[in-house]
């Protein structure tokens, strides 16, 4: 196996742990989010009760957004704060740069997720947040993930990258 470059070593080193601050499901298209204290997560299905109806291989089974970005979005819209349910993501995490999870699997409670991409805002954010809402969210929309191992997760659970990069894991 080739030796890691200094940059690759930096990318693979993520000692910080995040924390689950908020959990929500979308019971149906256009319906208000339901806020949860804990959730069961199933491979290929995402959070139980969420409207997600993708395939087992779908890259958008669970969505996450960084708590620190909620303030940035609010600031771009000249607001003090915006409630997490407005963004329609499943999990809000604090204390960890979600983009540092690119190419990795990570654990939240009893669940293992795999980073699959960025969660770009949709045009509905213009309605939900008001004029400029879509552009305020650009670069702050969070990430999409696939469920590798199902289980339970709850408010306060740690979010921790697994030691090996995704490509080296079984």
Q: Give the per-residue pLDDT at 164.
A: 60
Helix (H) and strand (E) counts for the chain? 4, 11
pLDDT in tens, 75-99: 999 999 999 999 999 999 999 999 9
The rounded Cα 27 to chain-centroid distance in angstroms is: 18
What is the mean pLDDT of the segment spanning 95-108?
A: 95
Torsion of CA 163, 10, 22, 74, to 10 degrees: -170
| DSSP category for residue 80 | S
What confidence category does residue 147 fall into, taking pLDDT thresholds of 50, 70 and 90? very high
**What does pTM read for this prediction?**
0.89
What is the mean pLDDT of the segment spanning 104-121?
A: 96
Which residue in the block uniquely carries the two structure tokens 């079984």?
170
């Amino acid at each position: 196996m080739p030796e890691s470059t200094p940059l690759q070593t930096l990318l693979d080193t993520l000692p910080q742990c995040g924390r689950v601050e908020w959990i929500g499901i979308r019971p149906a298209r256009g319906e208000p989010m339901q806020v949860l204290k804990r959730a069961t997560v199933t491979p290929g299905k995402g959070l139980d009760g969420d409207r997600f109806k993708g395939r087992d291989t779908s890259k958008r089974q669970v969505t996450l957004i960084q708590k620190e970005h909620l303030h940035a979005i609010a600031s771009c819209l000249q607001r003090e704060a915006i409630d997490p349910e407005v963004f329609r993501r499943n999990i809000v995490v604090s204390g960890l740069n979600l983009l540092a999870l690119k190419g990795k699997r990570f654990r939240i409670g009893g669940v293992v997720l795999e980073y699959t991409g960025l969660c770009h805002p949709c045009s509905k954010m213009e309605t939900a947040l008001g004029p400029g809402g879509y552009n305020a969210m650009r670069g702050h929309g969070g990430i999409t993930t696939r469920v590798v191992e199902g289980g339970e997760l709850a408010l306060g659970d740690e979010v921790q990258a697994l030691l090996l990069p995704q490509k080296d894991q079984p």
